Structure 1
Amino acid sequence: MANPRDEDFLDDIEAMEAAEAEAAEADPTPEEIISSLEAERDEYKDRFMRALADAENSRKRADKDRREAQAYGGTRIARDLIPVYDNLNRALNAAKDSEGQASAALTEGVELTLKELLTVFDRHGVKRIVPEVGDRFDPQMHEAMFEAPLPGTKAGDIIQVSAEGFMLYDRLLRPAQVGVSSMSG
């Protein structure tokens, strides 16, 4: 007959062997640990590279926005000054039409003011669009105020310039206002 203590001892040994077998299955091998760490490293590297690319794109976008704000930040004031230019031009034309010495002084003052305004426009990238009678109508730069048949012109020719246009660098502030021929031949 077997001793009950021997049976308990055998049960304990079997339990220990089972626990060791489980532990061996649960403990990853060094190769598995290395593989897991490499996968984790690669994931972090990928995240880092994406974050770096996002930061670079944000920097480039901010730089572009800064350059545009610097170049085109004066758009509103330039648009507000265009009617001043128009009024000075009308005053100059009216003063040239009238006669007298007071008119000559007024004409000279308006001419100097207009010249200074054009200098300021030039300094800030505002350029005039000055079409001539006979030029071709360009819908990107001109606004047709009317269309009329005029003998000796081709359809699409400018027959009258009502107002000059203006650009701020490469952006249209106001198209030149023109009359266009509708006659062919």
Structure 2
Amino acid sequence: MAKPKSEQEFMEEVAAELRGESEPTDGVEESDAPETAADPDELETLRAERDELKDRFVRALADAENTRKRADRDRREAENYGGSKLARDMLPVYDNLSRALETANEEQKEISKSLLEGVELTMKELLNVFKKHGIEPIAPEVGEKFDPQEHQAMFEAPVPGTTAGEIIQVMATGFMLHDRLLRPAQVGVSSTPAS
């Protein structure tokens, strides 16, 4: 009884047959096979069928490879960007914590010192979690040039001493998830100053 072939051996044998390198199997030598005079039309039909099967096989292999690559790419994208909706939903939490820290005046800071320290620690932890998951803040500085790839202009105003397209106010920090923009930084931009 013949030993069953592994899938790899089978694929190698089929590939060798398609290349015309087939080896005789089952102990039958080519010279042992009865020679028959083949009809030229039948021979041509068999060659056409062989070529068609070879073409289908090559296309199936290419399709399988493309499917594997597509699945691998989809898996990587899901791993990197699968949490983008959750990350986007967490941005208002960051905004609210930032506003709470920014609006506290000195008197409130003295009265609610431990509360503000808790808010600061929560903010730091949130930023650490963001960083761990590939979420980086876009925090432009006043005076930087406006970049439409990372910034969203909320207003334009002529401000003396600035050049057109210069950031004059930062209203909200933007965020990137790996190489994708989650939210642009919201900024005010200087227009051409009035003369």
TM-score norm. by structure 2 comes to 0.76
Q: How many Å apart are 1:38 and its aligned residue? A: 2.1
User: Is this contact kept in 2: 1:95–1:106, CA < 8 A?
Assistant: no
Q: Which amino acid counterpart does residue 119 of structure 1 have in structure 2?
A: N
User: Is this contact kept in 2: 1:85–1:114, CA < 8 A?
Assistant: yes
CA distance in 2, matches of 1:76, 1:46: 44
CA distance in 1, matches of 2:63, 2:105: 62
User: Is this contact kept in 2: 1:165–1:176, CA < 8 A?
Assistant: yes
Aligned counterpart, 1:57: 66
SS in 2 for 1:76: helix
Identity %: 65
In structure 1, runs of 5+ residues without a counterpart are 1-27
User: Is this contact kept in 2: 1:163–1:178, CA < 8 A?
Assistant: yes
TM-score norm. by structure 1 comes to 0.80
- Does the alignment pair 1:157 with 2:166? yes
Aligned counterpart, 1:141: 150
Q: Which amino acid counterpart does residue 190 of structure 2 have in structure 1?
A: S
- Does the alignment pair 1:76 with 2:88? no
SS in 2 for 1:160: strand
CA distance in 1, matches of 2:85, 2:75: 17
User: Is this contact kept in 2: 1:95–1:103, CA < 8 A?
Assistant: no
User: Is this contact kept in 1: 2:153–2:187, CA < 8 A?
Assistant: yes
SS in 2 for 1:60: helix
Do the aligned partners of residues 127 and 100 (structure 1) sit closer, same or farther apart at CA in structure 2, a change above 3 Å counting? closer
Q: How many Å apart are 1:98 and its aligned residue? A: 3.4
Structure 1 segment 1-185 matched on structure 2, within 5 A: 30=38, 32=40, 33-99=42-108, 101-184=110-193
Q: Which amino acid counterpart does residue 30 of structure 1 have in structure 2?
A: A
Matched residue count: 158
Do the aligned partners of residues 89 and 98 (structure 1) sit closer, same or farther apart at CA in structure 2, a change above 3 Å counting? farther
Do the aligned partners of residues 176 and 100 (structure 1) sit closer, same or farther apart at CA in structure 2, a change above 3 Å counting? closer
Query: How much is the aligned-residue C-alpha RMSD, in angstroms?
Result: 1.8
Q: Is the radius of gyration larger for structure 1 or structure 2? A: 1
Q: How many Å apart are 1:140 and its aligned residue? A: 1.0
User: Is this contact kept in 2: 1:96–1:103, CA < 8 A?
Assistant: no
Q: How many Å apart are 1:102 and its aligned residue? A: 3.5
Higher alpha-carbon deviation: 102-111 or 90-99: 90-99
**Runs of 4 or more consecutive aligned structure 1 residues displaced over 4 Å after TM superposition:** none
